[in-house]
Amino acid sequence: MAEEIIIVEGNGVLAGEVAVSGAKNSALKLIAAALLGQGETLVRNVPLISDISIMSEVLRRLGATVERDGHTLVVDTTDVEQFETPYDLVSKMRASISVLGPLVGRFGRARVAMPGGCQIGARKIDMHLVGLEALGVEFTIDHGFLEARTPNGLVGADVVLDFPSVGATENLLMAAVTAKGTTVLENAAREPEIVDLANMLVSMGAKVAGAGSSIIEVEGVPLSSLHPCDHTTVGDRIEAGTFLVGGALTGGPVTVRGIDPSYLRVALMKLAAMGCEVQTGADWVTVSRTRPLIPIDIQTLPHPGFPTDLQAQFMLLAARAEGVSVITENVFENRFMFASELIRMGADITIEDHHALVRGVAGLQGADVSSTDLRAGAALVLAGVSAEGQTRVHNIGHIDRGYEDYVGKLCDLGACVRRAPVDGMPDICG
């Protein structure tokens, strides 16, 4: 397939309603968890994105059958006998390391290629390994692969995470469900995606309590007690937040449906503090704005703090505010790479260590820019919607990793945006 870019004609228009897809960061782990079900599991509300395709192929290489019917994945792990994941797939996506926990839980061993993915930070897997070692897993590294074995079986333990890592919490949770005895995870991640995974594991026969809090307790059950299930993925809070930022940027109103507003509590508070009107319902949020954007101070933190995955989008908002904003990135050390692309469009941003000083400007100008990661790419498209002239966003494979039909949804909201081959396309919307 020819390389594509996203071309945006700045028209400053985003208004209407958009349905949020299933959460990428949840669905990926739910697919991995299906390995514990030893049968045909249905995972519903799964987004049509490239990361899901990669994770599906990881399971196929392990011997599973994975079929898609619209937004439902049918994952049959009955015939899975392999416990080695290939480098060519795992190196494309860090989330592939999530099969480590369920493979150890099912087979007592695993051979998993060291992960790759977005270049927004080291995101080392040390906490995964230390936690699993506490459960009785022994690790060796062999030519770029992690070799995991449990010579004495998985045994419950008290594990305190150095940092509330989402990935480490998920891997430990999926391994602990078959460990003998009780496992207590302290300083566990509290993200809604953790709760979603725990709910699926419980529906498979696992015994998990406390998900969504900093202490999760897992009472191990025999592998034979686990069974397939039918589970629906929660809505994607980051996709929802991205479109709501679009509403704040252009004035809206923009309504997102299919999301629990509580998942975005801090982000919605910040939107209100920036001068936006925020309305919420049981499964929807509307954002609009009729006055100038107010500068803001933001610090990214693990949930329930401000999500790092919305930092780039809010930096864009801060770039248009009337005054100086300060954004502090506490989660990923390289996530300010986005700033240099926004500066190309006329933003005034100074980076010092993990702080960004953002001085609001009257307007942005269209330019050729490149996605540096998934969320930065989405934010650059939004920047193009509000900018003067044409913006051409390159390296859009990052966007495809996490946003289903991003261009189509923006068009439905009134934006003048389209995908096109790198060369040979006209410069106006059709």
List the single range of 12-16, 29-33, 82-86, 174-178 with lowest mean pLDDT.
Answer: 82-86
- CA–CA distance, 49 with 34 (Å, rounded to integer): 19
Compute CA 319 distance to the chain's CA centroid, rounded to the nearest angstrom: 24
Q: Has residue 357 got a pLDDT over 80?
A: yes
Q: What is the mean pLDDT of the chain?
A: 93
- Quote the pLDDT of residue 117: 41
- Quote the pLDDT of residue 336: 85
Let me know: does 413 contact 246? Beta carbons within 8 Å: yes
147-162 residues labelled b (16+ CB within 10 A) or e (exposed): ebbbeeebbbbebebe
Q: Has residue 11 got a pLDDT over 60?
A: yes
Q: Has residue 119 got a pLDDT over 50?
A: no
Ligand-binding site membership of 334 (annotated): no
| List of residues 6+ apart from 12 with CB closer than 8 A | 250, 251, 385, 386
Let me know: does 7 contact 396? Beta carbons within 8 Å: no
Which among 133, 104, 32, 109 has a CA at the least distance from the CA of 73?
32
- Quote the pLDDT of residue 415: 98
How would residue 267 be classed by pLDDT, with cut points 50, 70 and 90?
very high
How would residue 124 be classed by pLDDT, with cut points 50, 70 and 90?
low
- 128-185 confidence digits (pLDDT tens): 889 999 999 999 988 878 899 999 999 999 999 999 999 999 999 999 999 999 999 9
- CA–CA distance, 89 with 125 (Å, rounded to integer): 17
- CA–CA distance, 194 with 188 (Å, rounded to integer): 9
Mark whether 118 is an active-site residue.
Answer: yes
How would residue 123 be classed by pLDDT, with cut points 50, 70 and 90?
very low
List C-alpha distances in Å: 68 to 21, 86, 95: 15, 22, 20
- CA–CA distance, 345 with 64 (Å, rounded to integer): 46
Ligand-binding site membership of 25 (annotated): yes
Ligand-binding site membership of 94 (annotated): yes
- 303-326 confidence digits (pLDDT tens): 999 999 999 999 999 999 999 999
- CA–CA distance, 277 with 266 (Å, rounded to integer): 15
Ligand-binding site membership of 331 (annotated): yes
Which among 2, 17, 8 has a CA at the least distance from the CA of 243?
17
- Quote the pLDDT of residue 125: 80
- Quote the pLDDT of residue 118: 40
Let me know: does 262 contact 269? Beta carbons within 8 Å: no
12-43 residues labelled b (16+ CB within 10 A) or e (exposed): ebbbeebbbbbbbbbbbbbbbbbbbbbebbbb
Let me know: does 128 contact 167? Beta carbons within 8 Å: yes
Q: What integer is the mean pLDDT of 340-358?
A: 95
Q: What integer is the mean pLDDT of 223-240?
A: 97
Q: Percentage of the chain with pLDDT > 90?
A: 84
Question: Any idea what DSSP says for residue 115?
Answer: P
Q: Has residue 240 got a pLDDT over 50?
A: yes
- Quote the pLDDT of residue 89: 79
Q: Has residue 203 got a pLDDT over 70?
A: yes
Let me know: does 217 contact 172? Beta carbons within 8 Å: no
- Quote the pLDDT of residue 424: 56
* Residue spans of alpha helices (H) in 39-115: 50-62, 87-90, 100-107
Global pTM value: 0.93
Q: How buried is residue 291: exposed, middle or buried, by Cβ count under 10 Å (0-12/13-18/19+)?
A: exposed
Catalytic pick among 118, 229, 276, 416 = 118
Domains defined for the chain, CATH in brackets: 4-21+235-421 (3.65.10.10), 24-232 (3.65.10.10)
> What is the bridge-based pairing of β-strands 40-44 and 230-232?
parallel
- Quote the pLDDT of residue 3: 87
State the CB neighbour count (10 A cutoff) for residue 213.
12
Q: What integer is the mean pLDDT of 292-309?
A: 96
How would residue 275 be classed by pLDDT, with cut points 50, 70 and 90?
very high
Q: What integer is the mean pLDDT of 360-374?
A: 96
Residues β-bridged to residue 51:
none
Which among 326, 335, 285, 273 has a CA at the least distance from the CA of 308?
335
Residues β-bridged to residue 3:
none
List C-alpha distances in Å: 406 to 179, 396, 399: 41, 11, 8
Q: Percentage of the chain with pLDDT > 70?
A: 94
What residue ranges in 3-108 does DSSP mark as E strands? 4-9, 16-19, 40-44, 65-69, 72-76, 84-85
- CA–CA distance, 191 with 195 (Å, rounded to integer): 7
- 20-30 confidence digits (pLDDT tens): 999 999 999 99
How would residue 425 be classed by pLDDT, with cut points 50, 70 and 90?
low
Let me know: does 8 contact 371? Beta carbons within 8 Å: no
